[in-house]
Amino acid sequence: MTPAPTPSRRALYTARRAAMTVLCTVAAAAPLHAQHVRTLESARLLRDSAPVAVRVQFGTGTLNVGAADAPYLYRSLTRFGDAFVAPTSAWNASQRTLTLTGGQRSGARPSGDDDDRDDENAQDWRLQLSRRAPLELTINAKAADATLDLTGLPLRRFSLNTGAAAATVRFDAPNVEPMSVFDASVGAGGLKLIGLGNAGASETRIVGDVGDISLDLGGRWQRDMQVSIRSAVGTVRITAPPTVGIEMTSDGALSRVSASGAITRAGDVWRSANFAASAIKVRIVVTSMLGKVELVQR
């Protein structure tokens, strides 16, 4: 015989029942709708090799940049969800300017969905630019995880501005065009730069707000370079090959500097042992407000 439930048991039972009801209600009320993801491939042909100024504007998502074979000025493969508009391009043939825009959120919300973090709602943009026409490339990536493989791109000038996401830039082969300035302004995500020697730039300027900045000075050096790094908070890590002469001046109230390899220090200046004799000299000025500066030669 089952004993009659006490009032407190009844209350517990009522609470359980109410909780189950609420859970069922919430489960039933969960948005049920199919995400819609589109794939768009776009391209523009280029029959000549005159210089082109390219501006890439990217909002949110993942951005990959690489080189395209002739006869393309650009090739773009985009996968985007309902929350994004299709990428657009504007080509001015007379001024030789190209503006590519992607990763922009649409005004309309996807039906039945207000969760912008959904993977299906992401934007993935793979962009290839001409190997043939010399480029002045500017990339503004607001909140994108950007991987920029600039190998093979004939860059005369490069500028990168990022917001909240990380960026990786790499040169795996020497730039065929002499680059005047390599300019990078990174926000909170940090920057990883690989093969700066292949960039062929006479000047490199890097400004970082929060996040680590990593510079690999590898590659085939063609000329001397002035490097200026300003970092507010984060670690600045510079790795140089033994074939390059390095001179680093560090300026920062609350930063620590560590050096490894054949490097000597004289006040605020760190110099590699081969600096005087080296054919290629890289002069680096680091201003780090708060963080660590690591210089490694190996």
Give the closest residue to 286 by CA, choosing from 262, 266, 270, 298.
270
Question: What are residue 92's DSSP bridge partners?
Answer: 97
Contact flag: residue 25 with another protein (CB under 8 A): yes
296/88 Cα distance (integer angstroms): 43
Bridge-based pairing state of the strands 88-92 and 52-68? unpaired
Which of residues 20, 48, 51, 86 is near another protein by CB under 8 A?
86
Q: Is 23 in the site for another protein (CB under 8 A)?
A: yes
Q: Per CB under 8 A, does 28 bind another protein?
A: yes
Cβ at position 175, least distance to another protein in Å? 27
Which of 5-13, 191-199, 239-247, 287-295 is the region at the interface with another protein (rule: CB under 8 A)? 5-13
Binding test (CB under 8 A) with another protein, winner from 53, 64, 66, 85: 85
Q: Which of 192, 203, 154, 157 is nearest to 174 (CA)?
A: 154
Contact 185, 162 (CB under 8 A): yes
For 161, 229, 265, the CA distances from 251, given in Å and listed in that order, are 24, 10, 14
Interface of this chain with another protein, residues 235 to 254, rule: CB under 8 A? none
Shortest separation between residue 112's beta carbon and another protein, angstroms: 5
User: x/- binding map, residues 57-76, to another protein, per CB under 8 A?
Assistant: --------------x-----
CA torsion through residues 112, 117, 118, 124, sign? positive
- Alpha-carbon distances of 69 from 87, 141, 220, rounded to whole Å: 21, 24, 23
> Binder to another protein among 2, 50, 94, 108 (CB under 8 A)?
108
Contact positions toward another protein, by CB under 8 A?
7-8, 10-11, 14-15, 18-19, 22-23, 25-26, 28-31, 36, 38-45, 47, 71, 82, 85-86, 89, 91, 106, 108-112
